[in-house]
Amino acid sequence: MPARSSWKGFLKLSLVSVPVKAYTATASGGGEVRLNQLHAECHSRINYKKTCPIHGEIPNDQIVSGFEYSKGQYVIVDPEEVEKLRTPDEKAINIDAFVPPGTVDQTYFSGKSYYLIPDGPVGQKPYALLVQGMEEMKRHAVAQVVMHGRDQLVLIRPMEGLLNMAILNYDNQVTKPAAFEEEAPKAKAEPDELKLAKTLIEASSPKQFDFSKYKDHYTEKLTQLIEKKVAGEEVVAPPVHEHAPIINLMDALKESLAKVQKAEPEAAEKPAKKMAESARKPGRGAAKRKSG
C-alpha cells in the first residue's frame, strides 16, 4: 500500500456515511525516465526561480493567489476564504445515482483514478455492504467530491472487493463526435471487404486477453541508450525494416489476415514445445528408480 493517502473523508449514500481514504491507482514512478534540461555549453542544470519584476526573487511564503479582474488589477483570494465557502457535504464523496456499467462513455474518463479504502474499523461493514450490493446488482455510482481545490465528478466501481473511483470530465469539457462530422468518412465498404475485415477482427481477438504483456518499449530503449552513453559506448541506430506499400485495400486485408493466422500457430507451439520438453526429462524419482 502507498505510504499515505491522497484524500480522507466520507463516502455518503443518503444517510449512510462510510469513512474512507483515497489512494492513487497509478504506481509511483512507473518506470518512467525523466530527462533534465541542461545548458548546452557547460551541461549545468537549468533552474527556474520565482521572481517579482519589482523585488526580484522571492520565497514561497511571500507568494499569494489572486485573480486579474482588470488589466494589471488583481483581487487577492486567501485559501481560508475559499475554505469558508465549502459546506460539510463538499468534504465528502456524495453518491448521486447508480447506473449500469457502460452508461458513462470512455471519452469522459480523465485518466486519473483512486482506490477507496475503509478508514478504521467503523467503516469496514458499511463498505463491504456497499461493494457487495453494487457487485450483485451490477451497478456503478456517479458521485461528486471536492479534491485538490476543485469540484470533481467521479464514477465509483466495485473492483475485486474494493471500490475504484475514476475522475471524470464534465460534459462541457468533452468534444462530441458531431464536431468532426465533416471529417467522418462517407465511403461505404463493399461486402467482400467487410467480410474480410470481420474475419481479421475475429482472428485478432484472443481467447484470454493479457494486459500485462504490453510494455513501455520507449522507456526500455531510452534506458539502454542512457546506460550505453554513461559507459562511453557508441549508439547505433537499429536497422529499418521497410514494408512495401499496399495500395489495394483487399490485398492489405488478405496480407494482414495471413500474417495473423501465421502468428497464431507459432504462439501456440511455444508452450506446447516447453511441455513436451519437460515431459521428456525424467524426474528425480524416476532417475532413482532406474539407478536402483
pLDDT digits (tens, 9 = 90+) for 220-243: 777 878 888 788 877 777 776 666
Instruction: Look at 270 and 56; give whichever has higher pLDDT.
Output: 56
289: left (phi over 0), alpha (psi -120 to 50) or beta: alpha
DSSP three-state, residue 19: strand
Q: How far apart (Å, rounded) are the C-alpha atoms in residues 92 and 32?
A: 33
Residue 198, H or E segment: helix 191-203
DSSP assignment string, 37-101 = PB-TTT-PBP----EETTTEE--GGG---EEEEETTEEEE--HHHHHHH--GGGGEEEEEEEE-T
Q: What's the half-sphere exposure (Cβ side, CA atoms, 13 Å) at 263? A: 11
What is the reported pLDDT for 284? 45
Would you report the helix, strand and coil content of the chain in percent, each value rounded to 5?
40, 25, 35
Query: What confidence tier does 147 reach under pLDDT thresholds 50, 70, 90?
Result: confident
pLDDT for 66-108, tens place per residue? 989 888 888 888 877 776 666 666 679 999 999 999 999 999 9
What is the reported pLDDT for 162? 96
Per-residue pLDDT at 110 exceeds 90: yes
pTM score of the predicted model: 0.65
What is the reported pLDDT for 246? 58
DSSP three-state, residue 103: coil
Query: What percent of the chain has pLDDT above 90?
Result: 34
Q: How far apart (Å, rounded) are the C-alpha atoms in residues 213 and 16?
A: 41
Under 8 Å CB-to-CB from 1, ≥6 apart: which residues? 23, 117
Residue with cell 525494416: 241
Contact between residue 246 and residue 255 where contact means Cβ atoms under 8 Å apart: yes
What is the reported pLDDT for 151? 87
Contact between residue 4 and residue 103 where contact means Cβ atoms under 8 Å apart: no
